[in-house]
């Protein structure tokens, strides 16, 4: 829908995937516990997923591959990995505490300038 509205094509990149998803192999409570643990400890690797640090670095690599390209790129991904990217680029102390607590809300827009280097220009726009 986003690509159609912009009149552009679609490219799928696995680096935009969430860092862990509940697959039903454990209880949902265990999944939430591991998610919360991985938020507190960026190096904790939850079962079947990536650590927050690994996911943030994966997203940074995606953006670095775009550095220097002309035009606007719209990347659609999950709020969890967007938070991981922001934590990697800015550090926890630069983020609003509510984003660390609640994550990026659905449909929010976070913008980065990637012409010379990766620079965050807006976080979670369009949020209530």
Q: What is the pLDDT of residues 19-43, one digit of tens each?
A: 998 898 999 999 999 999 999 999 9
User: What domain range is 114 assigned to?
Assistant: 25-125
Residue 91 falls inside a structural domain: yes
Backbone angles phi, psi at 123, to 5 degrees: -125, 125
Q: State how many domains the chain has.
A: 1
Q: Predicted confidence band at 2 (pLDDT cuts at 50, 70, 90)?
A: confident
CA angle, 98 as apex, 114 and 58 as ends, to 5°?
35
Residue 60 falls inside a structural domain: yes
What DSSP designation does 92 have?
A: G
In whole angstroms, what is the distance from residue 81 CA to residue 86 CA? 9
Residue 13 falls inside a structural domain: no
Q: Are 15 and 77 spatial neighbours (Cβ–Cβ below 8 Å)?
A: no
Residue 101 falls inside a structural domain: yes
Residue 29 falls inside a structural domain: yes
pTM of the model: 0.86
């Amino acid at each position: 829908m986003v690509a159609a509205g912009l009149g552009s094509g679609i490219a799928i990149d696995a680096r935009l995937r969430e860092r862990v998803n509940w697959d039903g192999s454990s209880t949902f409570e265990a999944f939430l516990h591991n998610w919360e643990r991985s938020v507190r400890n960026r190096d904790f690797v939850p079962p079947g997923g990536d650590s927050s640090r690994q996911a943030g670095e994966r997203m940074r690599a995606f953006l670095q591959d775009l550095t220097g390209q002309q035009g606007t790129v719209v990347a659609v991904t999950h709020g969890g990995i967007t938070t991981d990217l922001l934590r990697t680029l800015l550090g926890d102390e630069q983020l609003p505490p509510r984003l660390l607590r609640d994550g990026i809300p659905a449909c929010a827009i976070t913008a980065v300038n990637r012409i010379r280097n990766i620079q965050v220009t807006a976080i979670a726009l369009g949020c209530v």
